[in-house]
Amino acid sequence: MTNDTILAQYKIIDILVNLEYEKVYLTEDLNNNNSLCIVRHYIFTDATKNVIIEYLNARQEINRFCQHKNSCYFPSLLKMIILDNEGFLIEAISQGIGLKQLLNNGNLWQENETIEGLKSLLESVKIIHQFKIIHENINIDNVIKSLSK
């Protein structure tokens, strides 16, 4: 990884998360018409390697599961790469409107829309839990109302 590209294919536009074990980038895919995507970069240590690899494999299974159900409540997984000391998930950008943006704009859901939105969110959490993963950060900043639903 150079300072401005990842895996010689993904040009970094912005750093969204910068933790010791995980970095999340908004990128342009240089091999796919500069389309936007998310790159999740996981740094392995002796203590974290097995847990992170287990998560990466589960995320791949979740993607397969969602495609098989013909509905996906998660960003589509475009690619997964595991190297000696690091792993990468490349995800499509979720198309939709953030719940925070909807609330800030005064666009409140009607009761039936709220119920459907909660059902969809809970179905997503149920899928995650089936793969023994806990989503630790569900809040109005990262809940997106899909444009296709």
Pull the structure tokens for residue 2.
Answer: 């150079």
Q: Is the pLDDT of residue 99 over 80?
A: no
pLDDT at 14: 96
* Mean pLDDT within 104-109: 77
Percent of residues, the chain, with pLDDT higher than 70? 84
Which amino acid does the sequence have at 18?
N
For the ranges 27-41, 54-68, 77-91, 125-139, which has the lowest average pLDDT?
125-139
Q: How far apart are CA 99 and CA 40, in angstroms?
A: 23
pLDDT at 107 over 60: yes
Selected residue with higher pLDDT from 107 and 7: 7
Across the range 103-128, mean pLDDT stands at: 78
d(CA 33, CA 42): 25
pLDDT at position 51 over 70: yes
Give the model confidence (pLDDT) of 15-47 as tens digits: 999 999 999 999 999 999 999 999 999 999 999
How far is Cα 9 from Cα 139, in angstroms, rounded to an integer? 31
pTM: 0.76
- pLDDT tens digits along 67-82: 776 555 678 899 999 9
pLDDT band of residue 149 (cuts 50, 70, 90) is very low
